[in-house]
Structure 1
């Protein structure tokens, strides 16, 4: 790697690996922590409220990079932004370990702001390392290596989270995420001498939009609209936080639309193409990011996680299983959606000493367990399923890349926009796996094999590999040079809105009596995005051709 890639890449690889270790560790256990009863260390939130908070959290972590990246470009420099962002995130992760509502929300704010400085800055450093003629040709390969670091961190973090949670509790798991972040900063510090050449702030160019205009024309109106959305009586979009977020996004969306409408003839077509890609990508993220909500719920309540025999002994030995007390049929007084027992007002409450996992086990499993009702039952930790997607990425990336290289040699490789549309369609097919799982499990009456989730993640990972890596690449290629930073912000905004929509969709889980319909709606959303992509594909390819890129 030394001859083909700059030495600084190795340090950025491990810095990002440990940062993503902390970030995805939190993602894997966030909802589980919020819905867990207080007696076992959780916050005892209802599932709907947890979904809403999760959607808002991951939405804001992708909204702040717009301003954080801009400040890193023009004011702070990338080193300062990485240290500031990493330090804030590390404090936030550790703060989540304190079982306190105030600390919980303050810690989320620290992570959201910190991610805004860290994420765009470290990605920019990777690109800057390849700005010289010596390494320029290997830039795409460098980003692929960097992306692999992200997924290694995402893969191992849930295994560590399960171990820490089983051994020491929720707080230890959150603190582990913070330790990972600070390890990343130490590695970054050790490699600084190899990164100095990449810490070059973006020079001011003619036509650049000033920081004052960004704050005055975009963020101030967004804050005002967000406050209005929070304070309006009742709820338009089912919760105050969702109303506030959607309202806050309106001025930002208007800003981008005006940017397109006022663009000159040369810039208008590329900007229009990017806005269209943002729109279809938003629908992808709305479904994909349900891995932390709806699919986590499926793993928690509807997936057979019991292990026995040799597997039980092996996983118990490394503390990757949760020991549960078997409950008899009295747990059937829980509501049908496994939310919790209802009080007299019909509101869900978290009941101590019972576990809803056993509500929908098969009659054969129940009969076997009732022979010895005092026994402990070993269950695979729910968060371990969050490692399936990065695991698939590590396995499938060489195959997908090799497949497209095979087509390229024969002159049949699809264009970048075509790959994005293909990714949307493949992702839609993944939802059908979950539709089948619902029917196999008689709409949740009986738990199903974990292989359904593994298969779902496998299919959507292929879609992700066709779509996600193309995003930043196509933005950098199509954006007018003076607007690149702003369009990168638009890309993150589309992900942010998609993330929030994922929480909104997941919170509707309990509105569907037949859970197959929930996944069918997700499938239809992605098919709609596919059709939208197909309708503009010819124009997108033409714009790419005009720019001399494929």
Structure 2
């Protein structure tokens, strides 16, 4: 038996990646907890002084960009920098971005800081996850799954710490001190990454261009034509007055149109000219349906940092023993519930599987969407209280986050796993990218949706939340209804 030191029974490199990701998530979620609050606070109170619609659009663009930029971030790692350097460069860019945000100044400084953070996260996020998998080589069994579970725990610990520290400093002391704390968190992550980088043993140190698979197409003609066509569409929408790219909301809507059009055209191209057999076409169509379900789910779930955060600030009684808690602090219940419920859900699926009762992927998607919708149903009743001129108790938000977390645990890991199993081998990396695009689209929709939140008119909030209830419930029911044919088209994939 090897005497080599391990981290909780796993390769020591997992500890390096665990703490790097923990501090990166500390900075990301910490800053996200105060982002829309800072933008909508009046300049007299050291905020940015933007209206809710503009702030929500900026929030949506930023959170969407984080995931979209992971696609070029992964490509640059594979072809130019290697994964280890991409993580290092990404962390530096993230730290610089938070330092820029910590500088009091005009909107230009603020948006520059957001751009640095988004680009840096695009470098770091996909590549650190890839190295986690590479630590286990050809071992695709339970040990690898357990390693990812530990890594995922680091994400949630970082989120819990970041949203606590940054919320308190940002809301109770100084907004820019909160952004500065996020920079310190990323700095600590960089220091420990550099000090312990040797434990990765050269994994991801050099770019590794993927070997071309038999029958794989390498022509970029379709990509170029699609890009030009999508840009032309935006110009046409601008010309006919459908969107206005001179405003943040217009830009966000335009990006949403681009994502939808490019995704639809991409899948159409795969079906028509992708060289797939009948079975592969059916499985890719299932991926397309999962993409739609995931985008709808994230459109509701990711309102934690926008609509629900504004509700926490404006319509929630946050006093405990005479002290008012920071509004962003309530977002901590999601990572807290993740930490508590992850082993519960893991044990539940295993027990159900042993009895032959484990729900298939489409059913889990349906349940996840309905759970998200139920969370907003709770918020609908909380909003009715606010509409009567009173403040809702914190319990409404806490139970909402409980159901949202249950939905996340039911849908997110299952969807990611199903995509890896259903994707045709020659389009494997592209299909994994599609999963990031679904998350990006959901974040963008969440931001645009929050633009309808009016802090001065509480009577409109119940209908706002009810629209999410209807969307999530409707989508969830559709997945349950069509789970039979989807399961059949998935073939031998569970």
TM-score (norm 1): 0.81
Gap change, CA 1:77 and 1:512, over 3 Å in 2: same
Deviations 1:187-209, CA, capped at 9 Å, x for gaps: 22233222135316352223455
Q: Take 1:259 and 1:538, find their aligned partners in 2: how far apart are those partners?
A: 24
The answer to whether the 8 A contact 2:30-2:167 is kept is no
Aligned to 1:516: 462
Question: Alpha-carbon deviation of 1:21?
Answer: 0.6
Which structure has the bigger radius of gyration? Answer: 1
Q: Take 1:203 and 1:39, find their aligned partners in 2: how far apart are those partners?
A: 54
Gap change, CA 1:22 and 1:68, over 3 Å in 2: same
Q: Take 1:257 and 1:179, find their aligned partners in 2: how far apart are those partners?
A: 45
Q: Take 2:72 and 2:231, find their aligned partners in 1: how far apart are those partners?
A: 13
Structure 2 unaligned spans of 5+: 1-5
Q: Take 1:50 and 1:151, find their aligned partners in 2: how far apart are those partners?
A: 26
- Asked if 1:144 corresponds to 2:177, the answer is no
- Asked if 1:289 corresponds to 2:289, the answer is no
Structure 1 unaligned spans of 5+: 313-377
- Asked if 1:248 corresponds to 2:258, the answer is yes
Deviates more, 1:248-257 or 1:120-129: 248-257
Q: Take 1:141 and 1:192, find their aligned partners in 2: how far apart are those partners?
A: 22
- Asked if 1:15 corresponds to 2:15, the answer is no
Question: Alpha-carbon deviation of 1:457?
Answer: 0.6
Question: Alpha-carbon deviation of 1:460?
Answer: 1.2
- Asked if 1:115 corresponds to 2:121, the answer is yes
- Asked if 1:395 corresponds to 2:340, the answer is yes
Deviates more, 1:147-156 or 1:94-103: 94-103
Deviates more, 1:209-218 or 1:113-122: 209-218
Question: Alpha-carbon deviation of 1:418?
Answer: 2.3
Q: Take 1:194 and 1:213, find their aligned partners in 2: how far apart are those partners?
A: 42
Question: Alpha-carbon deviation of 1:524?
Answer: 0.7
Gap change, CA 1:209 and 1:125, over 3 Å in 2: farther
Aligned to 1:5: 10
**Counterpart selection for 1:537 from 480, 483, 494:** 483
Q: Take 2:338 and 2:186, find their aligned partners in 1: how far apart are those partners?
A: 22
Q: Take 2:55 and 2:142, find their aligned partners in 1: how far apart are those partners?
A: 45
Question: Alpha-carbon deviation of 1:167?
Answer: 6.2
Q: Take 2:228 and 2:18, find their aligned partners in 1: how far apart are those partners?
A: 36
- Asked if 1:383 corresponds to 2:328, the answer is yes
**Counterpart selection for 1:405 from 350, 362, 369:** 350
Question: Alpha-carbon deviation of 1:261?
Answer: 2.9
Question: Alpha-carbon deviation of 1:6?
Answer: 1.6
Gap change, CA 1:30 and 1:398, over 3 Å in 2: same
For residues 251-266 of structure 1, the aligned pairs below 5 Å read 251-263=262-274, 264-265=276-277, 266=279
The answer to whether the 8 A contact 2:364-2:411 is kept is yes
Gap change, CA 1:252 and 1:234, over 3 Å in 2: closer
For residues 484-503 of structure 1, the aligned pairs below 5 Å read 484-503=428-447
The answer to whether the 8 A contact 2:303-2:447 is kept is yes
The answer to whether the 8 A contact 2:296-2:472 is kept is yes
The answer to whether the 8 A contact 2:373-2:468 is kept is yes
Question: Alpha-carbon deviation of 1:493?
Answer: 0.9
Aligned to 2:317: 304
Aligned to 1:159: 164
Deviates more, 1:73-82 or 1:511-520: 511-520
Question: Alpha-carbon deviation of 1:260?
Answer: 2.7
Q: Take 2:489 and 2:199, find their aligned partners in 1: how far apart are those partners?
A: 38
Aligned to 2:3: none
The answer to whether the 8 A contact 2:97-2:116 is kept is yes
Deviates more, 1:122-131 or 1:256-265: 256-265
Gap change, CA 1:129 and 1:277, over 3 Å in 2: same
Question: Alpha-carbon deviation of 1:306?
Answer: 2.2
For residues 66-215 of structure 1, the aligned pairs below 5 Å read 66-98=71-103, 99-133=105-139, 136-165=141-170, 168-199=173-204, 201-206=208-213, 207-208=215-216, 210=218
Q: Take 2:258 and 2:369, find their aligned partners in 1: how far apart are those partners?
A: 27
The answer to whether the 8 A contact 2:371-2:406 is kept is yes
Q: Take 2:474 and 2:136, find their aligned partners in 1: how far apart are those partners?
A: 38
TM-score (norm 2): 0.90
Q: Take 1:542 and 1:273, find their aligned partners in 2: how far apart are those partners?
A: 10
Deviations 1:191-237, CA, capped at 9 Å, x for gaps: 32221353163522234555956863555655565566667646379
Per the alignment, in what secondary structure is the counterpart of residue 62 of structure 1?
A: helix
**Counterpart selection for 1:446 from 382, 390, 415:** 390
Q: Take 1:182 and 1:260, find their aligned partners in 2: how far apart are those partners?
A: 46
Q: Take 1:3 and 1:471, find their aligned partners in 2: how far apart are those partners?
A: 27
Question: Alpha-carbon deviation of 1:531?
Answer: 2.5
The answer to whether the 8 A contact 1:435-1:516 is kept is yes
The answer to whether the 8 A contact 2:7-2:14 is kept is no
Question: Alpha-carbon deviation of 1:478?
Answer: 1.2
Per the alignment, in what secondary structure is the counterpart of residue 509 of structure 1?
A: coil
Aligned to 1:527: 473
Q: Take 2:226 and 2:436, find their aligned partners in 1: how far apart are those partners?
A: 15
Deviations 1:372-393, CA, capped at 9 Å, x for gaps: xxxxxx4211110111111111
Deviations 1:316-356, CA, capped at 9 Å, x for gaps: xxxxxxxxxxxxxxxxxxxxxxxxxxxxxxxxxxxxxxxxx
Question: Alpha-carbon deviation of 1:251?
Answer: 3.0
Q: Take 1:105 and 1:220, find their aligned partners in 2: how far apart are those partners?
A: 27
Question: Alpha-carbon deviation of 1:3?
Answer: 7.5
Q: RMSD of the TM alignment (CA)?
A: 2.4
Deviations 1:289-325, CA, capped at 9 Å, x for gaps: 11111101110111011233xxx4xxxxxxxxxxxxx
Q: Take 1:285 and 1:504, find their aligned partners in 2: how far apart are those partners?
A: 13
Deviations 1:92-125, CA, capped at 9 Å, x for gaps: 1111112321111111111222221111111111
Q: Take 1:197 and 1:240, find their aligned partners in 2: how far apart are those partners?
A: 45
